[in-house]
Structure 1
C-alpha cells in the first residue's frame, strides 16, 4: 500500500513550517527590542541561491559521462556552506558582542535553521515532480 501526499498538502505544511521560522526570528527581535537578528533571515534566505544557480550551469562535454561534480557545482556548494555557517555564527557573534541576549540568539538561530530547512525540503519535495513528464495533479 503506497501513501501519496498531494502537492497542496505539501505546500500548506511547508508554508506553516516556514511561518514558524519567521515567527521565531521576528519574536527574537520584537521581544527584546533589538532588530539585529533580522540579518539572520536575509542570510538564510540567500543560502540556497548558489546551489540553485550553479547546479545546472551548462553541460560540460568533458564531464558528459562522468558523475563528478563540475567546478560550478563545487562553487555553489561552497557558497551555500558559507551562507549557512554565517547564518549560524552571526547570532553567536552578536551575543558575544552583547548586542543581543542569549534567548534571542537561540531563537534567531533555530528560526533561521527552520527557514533554511523548509526551503531545502520544498525544493527536495518538488524536484522529482518537476522532472516527471506527466501531470500528476490533474490526472
Structure 2
C-alpha cells in the first residue's frame, strides 16, 4: 500500500476500524437480543467468557505476537494458548449446556452462537489488520 497517497491509506484504515466497530456492535446486539427476546437472561453468562478471552493475551504474550502463531518453547506462550482456547470453548459450551438443560430455547441458543461467530470474525479481522498495517498489537 506504499504506492497509494497518504489520505487514501488513512481512509482505508478508517474503514477497517469502522468495520470492526460494526462487527463488535452487532455481536453485542445479538447477545442482548438473545436474552431480551426470549425473556431469559441466563445467556448473559457467556459475557464472562468474552471478558476473560483476551486477558491471557494481554497479560502473558507481551509485544512479540509472532510467537503466538508458531511453535514455541516458552511456557508463558503455551499457557496463553491454553487459557485462550479454554475461554473460547467455554463461549460455546455455556449456551450448549443451558440449552441441554432446558433453560434457554433454540432461538436464544442460535443467537448466542451467531453472536460468538460475529465476535470471532471481528477478532480475526483485527488480527489480520494488525499483520498488514502500522497498528500495534495491543
Q: In which range does the TM-score fall when normalised by the shorter chain?
A: 0.7 to 0.9
Deviations 1:88-118 (A, max 9, x none): 0100100011110011111112102312431
Please state whether the residue corresponding to 1:37 is helix, strand or coil.
helix
Asked if residue 130 in structure 1 is aligned to residue 135 in structure 2, the reply is yes
TM-score, normalising length: structure 2: 0.76
> Residue 21 of structure 1 corresponds to which residue in structure 2?
27
Q: Tell me by how many angstroms 1:40 deviates.
A: 1.3
Q: Which residue of 2 aligns with 1:110?
A: 114
Provide the C-alpha distance between the structure 2 equivalents of 1:69 and 1:55, rounded to a whole number of angstroms.
13
Where does the alignment leave 5 or more consecutive residues of structure 2 unmatched? 65-70
> Which ranges in structure 1 are unaligned for 5 or more consecutive residues?
59-66, 132-139
Instruction: State the TM-score, normalized to the length of structure 1.
Output: 0.76
Partner of 2:90: 86
In the TM superposition, 1:27-42 aligns within 5 A as 27-42=33-48
How far, CA to CA, are the matches of 1:69 and 1:52 in structure 2? 19
Structure 1 pair 48–113 and aligned structure 2 pair: CA distance change class (3 A): farther
Query: CA-to-partner distance for each residue in 1:22-54, whole Å, 9 max, x for gaps?
Result: 111111100100011112123123212212321
Secondary structure of the 2:62 match is coil
* Residues in 1 aligned to 2:51 and 2:124: alpha-carbon distance in whole angstroms: 11
Q: Which has the larger radius of gyration?
A: 1
* Structure number with higher helix proportion: 2
Structure 1 consecutive aligned stretches of length 4 or more whose deviation exceeds 6 Å: none
